[in-house]
């Protein structure tokens, strides 16, 4: 197994050849066509924006005016009828079939900037590119007095996929309305157009349902705990349950409008039948066990046994599929959700529904006999098909995680494939729409580097791997692959700064995977641009993970049962220095050249990376006891 891992590591290292220095032009995602021309356009002291008239273009003009006014010391005004202009935003009179609904042409000459598009969304994405052509100080939240130069370029650009999403889990930890707006503002810089809000789970119900007030009165709050989520002690009866919150329906309307003005759709998710403990705590009759009257919203204590397959639930967090009360409850929820979100889909979850409490339920057994259901997967399929009918009765389309394939897919369901690409491939072959969101490329809750530094999670997803995401598997009709998205689950994400850290830079990679033509993707070029955007994020005060500069640490055993540590770098061109003597290495210490055998009585390994004589990685300290465990030394 170790040999296979090392072979894969060597293959990855061979692919990741020397990263390029930051380019003069560093746009993420990389445009379809870009031609660099001689010269620069310098923004004048009075910047005149001329745009196609009409309310549909106003949000683009307002956005551009605000960005320029916030960061520069220039006067920015819009004059639709003026013959003079600095920046022109123009909708085509007839559609340009090349750029489609979200594409644009951008021309920067020594005299002005012109962006043309078929639709306002295209103008908006052209503006995002324009912002990236300006100096990094354009990200400042206070005016900067300087010369504002834009390189002369000609760009033609349009997205590869129509669905370019980020999922933000606001259930495990509640993120308020302003946090969600902040997340939207960051994602649109990289031409994402879909925000998937995971609104309900075992840890909190986050959306007001007026016909079911206990969902937020009880289901939105829990005991506050910190540490490693999933390992907490059960809450005591007297501990205050005051941690959490929810969005009122007015909040939702405000967020939907805010997103719309930035050409982002919001996909709501109500996760059922599993992950429903918050709902069951509010309305115990929704569960198939009488013990539910004693349940509370989960605060991070174990509720499932992950040591035994198929991972049985320790408490019943599933809705009862055999009760008509369940479907009446869901009808009320979906009615109100459908009225709040104009996006045509409602995501109804369907993932990780443990079946052991259903197996014990007399009501479920009776349902199986009555409906001729042969196993618990068909019980869930029965549930999903009924939920689909409810969703469609509200004028919406039904979407779920790939578990909804098991037992038989609902007739018109769209599938979001998270357990790899295979579920999405299977759904597409059955002529269902698919959004690819596989864990091994697109799960932003995974560690970005070594566990010695990163908040401990059960898997790792490095930037280079995220950049390899290809949403269309072989043997699939591309018309059924709507696109893809990256998911930020927040069990271990307690605040907005850490949400930023977990999202970026991997969201840069996913953005390019979903926008840029496959043939134009290039890791070396991409990482050069990433480093440029790190500097922009510093100006914008957006947190990002520097994990890409940290070494890849692989302990193993020699034939004589000694622990040997192999080090590699995700970004070539870095030098690794190390110590076993408890001191703190810099570039005067031993340089890593070949696998290290851990000295007999050493207590810890410390590692650091340098580039061109300057520290670039973080200091990593690993106890030898941890290296022994990782290597499998008995």
The pLDDT tens digits of the residues spanning 304-329 come to 999 999 999 999 999 999 999 999 99
Mean pLDDT, residues 110-123: 98
Q: How far apart are the first and last CA of the chain?
A: 17
- Which residues fall within 8 angstroms of residue 305, CB to CB, at 6 or more apart? 311, 312, 313, 314
Domain locations along the chain: 33-157, 163-540, 550-631
Q: Which of 506, 466, 573 is nearest to 16 (CA)?
A: 573
d(CA 605, CA 621): 6
Across residues 86-101, what is the average pLDDT?
A: 95
Tell me if 107 sits within 8 A of 151, measured CB to CB.
no
Residue 235 pLDDT > 50: yes
Which stretches within 456-519 are classed as H helix?
463-466, 496-503, 506-515
pTM of model > 0.85: yes
pLDDT for residue 80: 76
pLDDT grade, residue 23 (50/70/90)?
low
pLDDT at 230: 93
Per DSSP, the residues of 422-470 read: HHHHHHHHTT--EEE--HHHHBTTSBSS-TTTSPP-S-B--HHHHTT--
Q: Is the pLDDT of residue 209 over 50?
A: yes
Tokens of 458: 């059960």
- Please indicate whether residue 237 or residue 202 has the higher confidence score (pLDDT): 202
CATH architecture type of domain 550-631? Sandwich (2.60)
Residue 219 has pLDDT above 90, yes or no: yes
Separation CA 572–CA 591 (nearest Å) = 15
- pLDDT score for 5: 38
Domains 163-540 and 550-631 share a fold: no
Specify the pLDDT at position 449: 96
Handedness of CA 229, 234, 236, 240 (dihedral sign): positive
For 163-540, which CATH superfamily applies?
Glycosidases (3.20.20.80)
* Cβ neighbours around 599 below 10 Å, total: 13
* Enzyme catalytic residues: 352
pLDDT for residue 83 = 76
H or E stretch at 41 = strand 33-42
Percent with pLDDT over 70 in the chain: 96
Q: Kindly report the length of the chain.
A: 634
Task: For 346-385, write each residue's pLDDT tens digit.
Answer: 999 999 999 999 999 999 999 999 999 999 999 999 999 9
55: pLDDT strictly greater than 90: yes
Residue 478 DSSP code: G
pLDDT over threshold 70, residue 21: no
Q: List pLDDT tens digits, range 518-548.
A: 999 999 999 999 999 999 999 999 999 999 9
Task: Indicate if the pLDDT at residue 39 is higher than 80.
Answer: yes
CATH topology of domain 33-157: Chitobiase; domain 2 (3.30.379)
pLDDT of residue 22: 43
In the block, tokens 């340098």 appear at 610
**Helical (H) or strand (E) element with 14:** helix 2-15
Write the pLDDT tens digit of every residue in 437-483. Answer: 999 999 999 999 999 999 899 999 999 999 999 999 999 999 999 99
Using CA atoms of 30, 36, 42, 48 in order, give the dihedral in degrees to the nearest 10.
Answer: -60
Residue 166: pLDDT over 60: yes
State the average pLDDT over residues 546-562. 96
Angle of helix 324-340 versus helix 249-260 axis, rounded to 10: 50
CB 371 within 8 A of CB 346: no
pLDDT tens profile 389-417:
999 999 999 999 999 999 999 999 999 99
DSSP 3-state helix, strand, coil percentages of the chain (rounded to 5)?
A: 35, 20, 45
pLDDT value, residue 156: 98
pLDDT value of residue 51: 94
**pLDDT at residue number 24:** 73
Given its phi and psi angles, is residue 581 left (phi above 0), alpha (psi -120 to 50 degrees) or beta? alpha
Tell me what the pLDDT averaged over the chain comes to: 95
When computed from its CA atoms, the radius of gyration of the chain, rounded to whole angstroms, is 26
């Amino acid at each position: 197994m170790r040999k296979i891992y090392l072979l894969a590591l060597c293959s990855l290292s061979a692919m990741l050849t020397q990263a390029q220095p930051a380019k003069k032009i560093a746009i993420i995602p990389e445009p379809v066509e870009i031609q660099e021309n001689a010269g620069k356009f310098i923004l004048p002291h009075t910047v005149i924006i001329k745009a196609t008239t009409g309310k549909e273009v106003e949000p683009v003009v307002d956005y551009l005016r605000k960005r320029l006014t916030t960061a520069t010391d220039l006067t920015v005004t819009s004059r639709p009828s003026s013959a003079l202009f600095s920046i022109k935003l123009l909708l085509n009179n007839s559609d340009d079939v090349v750029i489609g609904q979200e594409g644009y042409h951008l021309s920067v000459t020594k005299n002005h900037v012109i962006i043309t598009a078929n639709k306002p969304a295209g103008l908006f994405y052209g503006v995002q590119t324009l912002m990236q052509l300006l100096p990094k100080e354009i990200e400042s939240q206070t005016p900067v007095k300087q010369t504002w130069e834009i390189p002369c370029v000609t760009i033609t650009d349009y997205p590869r996929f129509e669905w370019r999403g980020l999922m933000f889990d606001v259930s495990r930890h509640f993120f308020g309305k302003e946090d969600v707006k902040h997340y939207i503002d960051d994602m649109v810089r990289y031409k994402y157009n879909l925000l998937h809000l995971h609104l309900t789970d075992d840890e909190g119900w986050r959306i007001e349902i007026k016909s079911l007030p206990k969902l937020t009165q009880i289901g939105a709050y829990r005991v506050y705990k910190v540490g490693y989520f999933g390992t907490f002690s059960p809450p005591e009866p007297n501990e205050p349950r005051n941690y959490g919150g929810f969005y009122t329906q007015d909040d939702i309307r405000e967020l939907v409008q805010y997103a719309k003005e930035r050409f982002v759709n919001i996909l709501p998710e109500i996760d059922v039948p599993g992950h429903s403990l918050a709902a069951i705590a509010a309305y115990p009759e929704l569960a198939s066990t009488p013990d539910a009257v004693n349940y509370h919203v989960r605060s991070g204590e174990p509720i499932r046994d992950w040591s035994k397959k198929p991972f049985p639930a320790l408490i019943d967090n599933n809705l009862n599929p055999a009760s008509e009360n369940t479907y009446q409850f869901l009808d009320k929820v979906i009615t109100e959700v459908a009225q709040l979100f104009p996006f045509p889909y409602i995501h109804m979850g369907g993932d990780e529904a443990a079946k052991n409490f259903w197996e014990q339920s007399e009501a479920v057994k009776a349902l199986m006999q009555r409906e001729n259901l042969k196993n618990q997967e068909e019980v869930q399929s029965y549930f999903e098909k009924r939920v689909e009918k409810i969703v469609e009765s509200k004028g919406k389309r039904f979407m779920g995680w790939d578990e909804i394939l098991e037992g038989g897919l609902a007739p018109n369901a769209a599938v979001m494939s998270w357990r790899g690409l295979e579920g999405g491939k299977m759904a597409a072959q059955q002529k269902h729409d698919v959004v690819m969101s596989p864990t091994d490329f697109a799960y932003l809750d995974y560690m970005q580097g070594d566990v010695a530094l990163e908040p401990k999670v059960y898997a790792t997803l490095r930037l280079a791997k995220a950049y390899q995401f290809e949403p269309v598997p072989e043997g699939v009709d591309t018309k059924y692959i709507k696109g893809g998205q990256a998911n930020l689950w927040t069990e271990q994400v307690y605040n907005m700064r850490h949400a930023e850290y977990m999202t970026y830079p991997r969201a840069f990679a996913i953005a390019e995977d979903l926008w840029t033509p496959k043939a134009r993707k290039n890791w070396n070029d991409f990482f050069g641009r990433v480093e440029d955007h790190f500097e922009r994020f510093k100006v914008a005060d957006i947190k990002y993970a520097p994990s890409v500069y940290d070494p890849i640490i692989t302990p193993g055993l020699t034939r004589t049962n000694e622990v040997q540590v192999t080090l590699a770098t995700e970004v070539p061109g870095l030098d690794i220095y190390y110590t076993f003597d408890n001191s703190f290495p810099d570039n005067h210490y031993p340089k890593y050249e070949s696998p290290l055998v851990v000295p007999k009585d050493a207590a810890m390994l410390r590692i650091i990376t340098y580039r061109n004589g300057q520290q670039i990685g973080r200091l990593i300290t690993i106890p030898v006891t941890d290296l022994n465990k990782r290597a499998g030394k008995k």
